[in-house]
Amino acid sequence: MSDYVPLARKFRPRNFDEVIGQETVSKTLKNALKAGKIYPAYLFTGPRGVGKTTTARILAKSLNCAKGLSPEPCLECDSCLEIARSNSLDVLEMDAASNTGVDNVREAIIETLSLVPHRDRYKIFIIDEAHMLSSAAFNALLKTLEEPPPRVVFILATTESSKIPPTIVSRCQRFRFRPLSNEILAQHLASIAQQEKIEVDSQALFLLAQASEGAARDAISLLDQCRSSSHDPLTETSVRNLLGFSPKETIESFAESLIDRNKENLGKLLVKAEEEGLDPAQIVKDIRSFFHEIYRSFYSPISLKGAAENLKKKTSLEALTFILKRLNAIIQDLRLSDSPFLNLELGLFGTLEAASDLPSWVKRLEALEARLSAGKIPQNSSPVVAESAAESDALDDFEPAEPSELSDETDSKETSPAVHSDMWTQFLKSFESEKPALAAALSKAELSQDSPQRWRLIFAQSFDASQAKKNLAFIQEALSKLAKTLIALEITEKAPARSLSAPNPAEESFNKARQILGGRIVKK
């Protein structure tokens, strides 16, 4: 039988001072113990591995220590040692995940409440994962919490406080445990590594802290796992390989492909990742962490280096917000998928497709806002006309993909090529495979010219018109390239005129679009 003690158990805090990252909770409990104000029921809430059960045991030691009620238990008396080993007769630890029913609560708790403590000062019940108790079990426990017998203390610990009935919560003194920051965890791991003579660099420690997602127990366990897997000094690269994380260079390449909308490079990276057996969910999480760091740098003093610093110069806060939301959605889809890599491909390529419209949306809305503020749009104009008017104001800033193919004289009086069926068919086929839904909607429209630089798309159905309006910048650019001149495109519908007494539709159009983009355009 092996005598090896895992690091997570070996370095488990024994008193309040050793609990890291929960100073507020520790200070409050210590003050209550000094004052002798012992509450009959406590509720500890927070994510896994942050010290809830450990703090419950320390509180039990402080209550039953042989030297008396104290915030600093001696850790040497029989009571302290037995509580540390979880075999104290007066401190019952109950796992609610395994004992969910009312019979378990009645047998383990209610029937023993009338018994006086065997030796110690208090009879203490520690109920771990308390949210797993059934409704009947909570009801059975409720009466006891309302009128607890003397010398009885309940400590409920849970990771999902929302599942605890309000009637139970109201009868407990509640303490919230917070996830630990990467900096605090890295410092704690460095201390353990020094005591255990583990050679590990600071980047590897930070990676372990990041992988633990704020849980001290998980971080220490990961350090233990890495030490057991290799006798060599632990580096960031070796930790990534040992724990199955995506290589740093791969994640940076994925991020760059998403920012640059490089479909070819993204496809190569996906093929390579599948060949190397990388976990799709881990890939998305690593990409999300990489982008999250850049996102935070926009509103907090975070110093970026290398690829992250370069990519920040090429993107915007709006684009990062959209990408991060898409990555969250991909992670949700992967949890229910039986084909993870397919979901990964669909999700990442979908991010490229949808993200391309963001800059044009923002640009068009800013132009519309400026027109509304200046009062240049009539009160009775339709949303389509208002949008077209704003678009015409933005023509000076419009940049086609290949400006060399366009006319240098945007106000030239020369007549542009006539709009005929062959040209329209060629236009639709140019992106039919890439945007089939848009091509189908445009195939139902009538294309006409008001002037060489003013074109119009007329739709019979509002749904088709809305599809075109969402892609107005794309359609306008593609038609400009085909016609070899810079054009302004207007989208209209065959619909009855709006009543003059109705609210300003241009204002409505702007407000609705602003809501879509999360209020990022602020009307002045």
Q: Give the DSSP per-residue string, 241-300.
A: HHHTPPPHHHHHHHHHHHHHT-HHHHHHHHHHHHHTT--HHHHHHHHHHHHHHHHHHTTS
Helix axes 202-211, 216-229, angle to 10 degrees: 130
Query: Is the domain of 140 the same as that of 217?
Result: no
Query: Is the domain of 439 the same as that of 497?
Result: yes
Position 47 scores a pLDDT of 92
Position 381 scores a pLDDT of 47
CATH of the domain at 111: 3.40.50.300
Vertex 468 angle, CA 463 and 472, to 5°: 150
CATH of the domain at 230: 1.10.8.60
Residues of the chain with pLDDT under 50: 1, 356, 379-418, 496-502, 519-524
Long-range (24+ apart) CB contacts under 8 A made by 324-329 are 324/288, 324/291, 324/292, 324/295, 326/350, 326/351, 326/354, 326/355, 327/284, 327/287, 327/288, 327/291, 327/351, 328/288
- 523 within domain boundaries: no
Query: Is the domain of 47 the same as that of 171?
Result: yes
- 521 within domain boundaries: no
Query: Is the domain of 157 the same as that of 192?
Result: no
- 193 within domain boundaries: yes
Query: Is the domain of 254 the same as that of 375?
Result: no
- 167 within domain boundaries: yes
Position 123 scores a pLDDT of 92
Position 491 scores a pLDDT of 85
Cα–Cα distance measured from residue 399 to residue 473, given in angstroms and rounded to the nearest whole number: 10
Instruction: Residue 83: give the domain boundaries.
Output: 7-176
134: left (phi over 0), alpha (psi -120 to 50) or beta: beta
- The last residue of one of the domains, among 160, 176, 192, is 176
CATH of the domain at 273: 1.20.272.10
Query: Is the domain of 384 the same as that of 497?
Result: yes
Query: Is the domain of 477 the same as that of 365?
Result: yes
CB 116 within 8 A of CB 151: yes
Q: Which residues contact 485 (CB under 8 A, 6 or more apart)?
A: 406, 407, 410, 412, 416, 452, 453
Query: Is the domain of 30 the same as that of 172?
Result: yes
Q: How far is CA 351 from the centre of its chain?
A: 16
Query: Is the domain of 53 the same as that of 131?
Result: yes
- 153 within domain boundaries: yes
CB 53 within 8 A of CB 217: no
Cα–Cα distance measured from residue 396 to residue 363, given in angstroms and rounded to the nearest whole number: 12
- 2 within domain boundaries: no
**Total structural domains within the chain:** 4
Query: Is the domain of 342 the same as that of 392?
Result: no
Position 14 scores a pLDDT of 93
CB 261 within 8 A of CB 352: yes
- 198 within domain boundaries: yes
- The last residue of one of the domains, among 226, 243, 260, is 243
Q: What is the pTM of this model?
A: 0.62
The residue to which tokens 């690091």 are assigned: 7
- 522 within domain boundaries: no
Query: Is the domain of 158 the same as that of 121?
Result: yes
Query: Is the domain of 253 the same as that of 233?
Result: no
- The last residue of one of the domains, among 176, 196, 211, is 176
Position 395 scores a pLDDT of 42
